[in-house]
Amino acid sequence: MALKATIFKAELQVSDMDRNYFQSHSLTLARHPSETDERMMIRLLAFALNAHVSRNNSEALQFTKGLSSDDEPDLWLKNLHGDIEQWVEVGLPDERRIRKSCNRANQVTIYAYGERSATVWWKNIENDLARFDNLSISYLSAEDTAAIADIARRNMSLQATVQDRDIWFGDENNTLMISPEIWKLSNL
Higher-confidence position of 65 and 162? 162
Confidence band of 99 (pLDDT split at 50, 70, 90):
very high
**Alpha carbons 15 and 24: distance in angstroms, whole number:** 9
Topology of domain 8-184, CATH: Restriction endonuclease-like alpha-beta roll fold (3.10.640)
Banded model confidence at residue 56, pLDDT cuts 50, 70, 90: low
**In the chain, domain spans:** 8-184
| 8 within 8 A of 32, measured Cβ to Cβ | no
Give the integer Cα–Cα distance in Å for 121 and 134: 19
In tens, the pLDDT along 124-133 reads 999 999 999 9
Per-residue pLDDT at 57:
55
Distances (CA, A) of 119 to 6, 126, 143, 144: 30, 10, 15, 16
User: Residue 161: which residues within 8 A CB-CB, separation 6 or more?
Assistant: 15, 16, 17, 167, 168, 169
**What pTM did the predictor assign?**
0.93
pLDDT tens per residue, range 132-145: 999 999 999 999 99
Compute the distance between CA of residue 185 and CA of residue 69 in angstroms, rounded to an integer: 26
Q: Is the pLDDT of residue 3 over 80?
A: no
pLDDT digit string (tens) for 67-85?
656 789 999 999 888 899 9
Averaged pLDDT, 37-66 = 84
- Mean pLDDT taken over the chain: 92
